[in-house]
Structure 1
Amino acid sequence: MKRTTLSLIAATTALGAVTAFAAFDGPSASGAAAPKAAANLPVERTSLLCPAPSMSDIADTSYTSFTPVTQSTENSGKAQLQPAAADSADGTGNSQTGKGSKGSKGGKKTAAQPVITPKAPGTPVTGDTSGADGPALIGTADGRFAPGWTVQETTKVAAGTGRGLQGVDCTAADTDFWFPGASTSADRTDYVHLTNPDDSAAVVDIELYGKDGAIKSSLGENLTVPAHASKPVLLSTLTDARQADLTVHVSVRSGRVGASVQALDAKAGGDWLAAAADPAGTLVLPGIPKDATDVRLIAFTPGGDDADLKVRLASPSGLITPAGNETLHVKSGMTTTADLGAVTRGEAGSLVLTPTDRSVPVVAALRVVRGKGDQQETAFIPATAPVGTRATSADNSDKGTTLALAAPLATATVRVTASAGSDGGTATTKTYTIKSGTTENVPFPVPSGLKGTYALTVETVSGGPVYASRTLSATASGVPGFTIQTLPNDRGMVAVPKTTEDLSVLQK
């Protein structure tokens, strides 16, 4: 073949490649326009992992799936939740998960496989299971069901260790998790639940940090989580040390997992402890119940430097400093606690941690107790990311739901939409202004003609960053059961650079 023919083919190939190429260079010397700003477009696929709900034979668990309505999405798509294999005692992952049956309109499902078939974005769908056989779930959503897909797992346990209300948002797989607030004390039974959504095994390390630093143990190293399986790890089997407050670090050597800590107390109920936000110098822990009887702050700095933090409470009237807890010194590599007592004193509140001098990355969580004596119940509030563009909380009812919004840095305008009910009702929206430095338990809208449960979608309209949490409350046998979930950004939108064809590269 002649050289001229080869050159022509090469030029044609280059032209085809370049016309499909996004020009990211800055303005040229000739004055060419800069690339346009990135566009926010809906994600096309979302994966969620739900831990096995309970080991109690008297547990009742409900699941709620919801996708907010998002513009510019495809008309097609689906979402589904499939049971993960339960890792057997010998680590082979061969134990049976059981068979499930489909239900209609969120009806009763078999214990082994609660099947949720979403109706359409904007309408929640529910499913339920009972007993100790409910498996971990691996979920995927694509097309119009993917942007902002949320699944809530809520469990009621009438008696025994961890009795009360336990709730957790199903989360995406990742490779690094921090859990300040775990424990190996005699009254606590804490499990780290690891779920692997992928086709190959994941290898995980679990590190424990107490008040004196790292707790040396080889038992948490090189833990294998088989493909499409879930593995609960009892923390007290990793060490003989019995400590009331620990920071747990889950790091993945290969693969990826979902991770959550189930913290069960023999006397004070229990709840799920979700992973804290990534280490940062400034942290916000939103939505402490106004009737909290005891609040404990647990903090940890993973770096090589100590951290000095200013502790403030964002109340309805502004930022205040808790008496006797003005600052917190966090030694490097050691779990540090501060007992804040009934810090909210009958008002809504969010804890705001900021560096007193130089910024050192910290992770933190709150252990919150309501009630007194044998009527106590426990929940956790990890430090969380702001709402950003949008965040969603599923499984709300006309009674027993509290939505807390905090604007610690600057006044913000927030739009809250209550979705249609799972069994009927019409969505409604309300807008709020949250003043700088404050927290409000807002009187959120309830869908008209509500039947079933509904979702709350929070959107930041303008102003500073907003942090949010949702509290579910239910009293059983006089015990004030409750659970708290934070509302970080749902990551339903992704920035995609706008592209242009640039043929000038052929002349270079």
Structure 2
Amino acid sequence: MNRTTLSLLGAVTALAAVTGFAAIAAPDGGATGGAKAASAGAAARLPVERSSLLCPAPSGSDLAETTYTAFTPKSDAKGGAKGGPAADAKDTKPGKAELVPSANSKNAKNAKKPTVALTEPGKPVTATASGSESPALVGTADGALAPGWAAQQTTKVSAGGSRGVLGVSCSAPDTEFWFPGVSTAEARQDYVHLTNPDDSAAVADVELYGPGGVLKSDAGEGITVPPHSSVPVLLSTLSSTRVPDGTVHVTTRAGRVGAAVQAMEDKAGSDWLTAAADPSGSVVLPGIPADATSVRLVVFATGDNDADLRVKLAGANGSLVPAGAEALHVKSRMTGSIDLRDVTKGEAGALVLSPTPGSRGAPVVAAVRIVRGMKDKQEVAYVPATAPVGARSTATDNRAQGSVLSLTAPGAAGEVRVTASAGSGGGEPVVKTYKVKAGTTVSVAAPVPPGLKGSYALTAESVSGGPVHAARMLQLPEDGIPMFTIQTMPDDKGTVVVPRAQNDLSVLDD
């Protein structure tokens, strides 16, 4: 079962009461028994009533300074996502959204006290933590705060082995994750963090794949994650084989978990690698900055067939094929990689992978390792393949300076509306619309709310045209090092399609 399936199941359960209302009160206002009401089997798109998010433990460094930011976008007058049908506002409870420390944190006695608590949509809230003992966070949102609820954990480490900016969008629990782009090389320390949000233990398997296929190991099988707790697993302990480019596959035998990889690299910095989008024949990796000095693409073929891929860079003026990297062949259940060096040539863009003509279109997952700066002044970040913006997506923790928004239309042209929210300490929202030509990338300084105080959120909504993929780069330079982190912006799944139903008293007949 993939992430989409699991989230839909949870949302359908949570929406039982709302579904009953929608069946009786048709959108056109007609009474039951009317011509349109007769089509009660048609589905309606309704806001979810409960969301879950998990944030991994930020850092093992005593120098770590972490900021948490949580946000729920404002809904339209009907209580749903802007521009989408929804239940009436009177049926949406005010709700609450909280992130609390995991039960196995060192400050477990305060586990019931929220680290971050959100009370209203449209305005972000923040919290800070220092040092190596900051725990993983487990959170839920319900009512009006559930649809589109988003949170980010941003950690800055000024020195040491994990030096850099580590940013991660807190993610929903699931039963399966793919992480291309990991490594067990001597210079890397990669941990996969597994967090269990539920009341019963979860059991997870962690498989590691290199260029030659699966790396045999028993150490990654049957890892128990206690209730409301988090477990880090050092990938180099799973196998004695050292691979510079690998792929991790996390599945659960029991329960569900949140998963993210913390990648720390000697002399190059550190960041979080989040799960790639579900396997597909074509994938998009947005948000590659214009000044990238090194871009390395890692791809894994998840199916039984080899994958033959065309590689293109969608830039400001169109798509081009990187010289010497026109195509990539990846064998079934193996990891392939290619060094694209400074492929952007001073022009921000996105990598677009698609099947070569005549190939089978085998499903793949992919990620890129991006470096900015040179020698001892470099910093690293990771971007996985991501789903389009869809109806709506949000990136939290934007600052007055240093936030860059990247929008890519890999196929047909698209239009996206972007809302910069009020600030956590003040400011007024502002809305801008961006048109993205087919096969191009628009990279702009993120719009800033007038009168901004604190940090703010960026919410993108598809307006028209083809799918648009988005990413946000946050730059926090220090001592000449271009420290940065990049978060992708897939659809937040704040609404769900729910079948309409009518009462049928005939089931009570003998």
User: TM-score, normalised to structure 2's length?
Assistant: 0.88
State yes or no: 1:162 paired with 2:172. Answer: no
- The question of whether the paired residues in 2 share the 8 Å contact of 1:212 and 1:335 is answered with yes
Aligned ranges for residues 78-89 of structure 1 at < 5 Å?
A: 78-86=96-104
State yes or no: 1:388 paired with 2:406. Answer: no
Aligned AA for 1:84? S
Match of 2:419 in 1: 417
Aligned AA for 2:244? A
Match of 1:91 in 2: none
Match of 1:286 in 2: 286
CA 53–21 in structure 1, closer or farther in 2 if over 3 Å, else same: closer
Aligned AA for 2:288? I
Match of 2:201 in 1: 201
CA 21–461 in structure 1, closer or farther in 2 if over 3 Å, else same: closer
Aligned AA for 1:358? R
State yes or no: 1:231 paired with 2:241. Answer: no
Match of 2:17 in 1: none
Distance in structure 2 (CA, Å) of the matches to 1:483 and 1:436: 27
What 5-or-longer segments of structure 1 have no aligned partner? 1-18, 24-29, 87-94, 103-112
Q: Equivalent of 1:56, from 53, 61, 81?
A: 61
Shift of 1:31: 12
Aligned AA for 1:464? G
Distance in structure 1 (CA, Å) of the matches to 2:293 and 2:206: 32
Distance in structure 1 (CA, Å) of the matches to 2:135 and 2:445: 36
Shift of 1:114: 6.8
Larger deviation: 45-54 or 351-360?
A: 351-360
Match of 1:89 in 2: none
State yes or no: 1:445 paired with 2:478. Answer: no
User: TM-score, normalised to structure 1's length?
Assistant: 0.88
Distance in structure 1 (CA, Å) of the matches to 2:175 and 2:509: 45
CA 21–77 in structure 1, closer or farther in 2 if over 3 Å, else same: closer
- The question of whether the paired residues in 2 share the 8 Å contact of 1:20 and 1:501 is answered with no
Aligned AA for 1:440? V
Q: Deviations over 1:249-297 (max 9, x none)?
A: 0110110000000000111001000000111000000010110000000
Distance in structure 2 (CA, Å) of the matches to 1:21 and 1:455: 31
Q: Equivalent of 1:360, from 359, 362, 377?
A: 362
Match of 2:495 in 1: 493
Aligned AA for 1:415? R
Distance in structure 2 (CA, Å) of the matches to 1:377 and 1:333: 30
Match of 1:190 in 2: 190
Shift of 1:124: 0.4
State yes or no: 1:147 paired with 2:157. Answer: no
Aligned AA for 1:373? K
Name the SS for the 2:483 alignment partner.
Answer: strand
What 5-or-longer segments of structure 2 have no aligned partner? 1-19, 25-34, 80-88
Match of 1:253 in 2: 253
Larger deviation: 436-445 or 194-203?
A: 436-445
- C-alpha RMSD over aligned residues: 2.3
Larger Rg belongs to: 1
Q: Deviations over 1:130-187 (max 9, x none)?
A: 0000000000000011000001000000011121111001000000000001111111
- The question of whether the paired residues in 2 share the 8 Å contact of 1:114 and 1:129 is answered with no
Q: Deviations over 1:399-450 (max 9, x none)?
A: 0100000011111111000000000000010111111110011344211110
Distance in structure 1 (CA, Å) of the matches to 2:297 and 2:351: 9
Match of 1:178 in 2: 178
Aligned AA for 2:476? A
CA 32–140 in structure 1, closer or farther in 2 if over 3 Å, else same: closer
- The question of whether the paired residues in 1 share the 8 Å contact of 2:403 and 2:446 is answered with no
Sequence identity percentage: 60
Distance in structure 2 (CA, Å) of the matches to 1:177 and 1:163: 26
Distance in structure 1 (CA, Å) of the matches to 2:204 and 2:348: 39
Distance in structure 2 (CA, Å) of the matches to 1:100 and 1:159: 29
Match of 2:220 in 1: 220
Aligned AA for 1:76? P
Distance in structure 2 (CA, Å) of the matches to 1:333 and 1:119: 46
Name the SS for the 1:144 alignment partner.
Answer: helix
Q: Equivalent of 2:43, from 31, 34, 38?
A: 38
Matched residue count: 466
Aligned ranges for residues 290-439 of structure 1 at < 5 Å?
A: 290-356=290-356, 357-439=359-441
Shift of 1:96: 3.7
Name the SS for the 1:204 alignment partner.
Answer: strand
CA 209–166 in structure 1, closer or farther in 2 if over 3 Å, else same: same
Q: Deviations over 1:6-45 (max 9, x none)?
A: xxxxxxxxxxxxx99979xxxxxx9995446422211100
- The question of whether the paired residues in 1 share the 8 Å contact of 2:97 and 2:145 is answered with yes
Aligned AA for 2:107? T
Match of 1:468 in 2: 470
- The question of whether the paired residues in 2 share the 8 Å contact of 1:85 and 1:135 is answered with no
Aligned AA for 2:103? A
- The question of whether the paired residues in 2 share the 8 Å contact of 1:21 and 1:502 is answered with no
- The question of whether the paired residues in 1 share the 8 Å contact of 2:288 and 2:350 is answered with yes
Aligned AA for 1:267? K
CA 501–100 in structure 1, closer or farther in 2 if over 3 Å, else same: closer
Match of 1:11 in 2: none
- The question of whether the paired residues in 1 share the 8 Å contact of 2:96 and 2:119 is answered with no
Larger deviation: 494-503 or 227-236?
A: 494-503
Shift of 1:499: 3.4
Shift of 1:97: 2.9
Name the SS for the 1:236 alignment partner.
Answer: helix
Aligned AA for 1:124? P
Distance in structure 2 (CA, Å) of the matches to 1:20 and 1:83: 36
Aligned AA for 1:172? A
CA 337–144 in structure 1, closer or farther in 2 if over 3 Å, else same: same
Distance in structure 1 (CA, Å) of the matches to 2:305 and 2:298: 17
Distance in structure 2 (CA, Å) of the matches to 1:229 and 1:114: 15
- The question of whether the paired residues in 1 share the 8 Å contact of 2:100 and 2:116 is answered with no
Name the SS for the 1:449 alignment partner.
Answer: coil
Distance in structure 2 (CA, Å) of the matches to 1:237 and 1:75: 47
Q: Deviations over 1:43-70 (max 9, x none)?
A: 1000100000000000000000000011
Q: Equivalent of 1:477, from 476, 479, 485?
A: 479
- The question of whether the paired residues in 1 share the 8 Å contact of 2:101 and 2:111 is answered with no
Shift of 1:489: 0.5
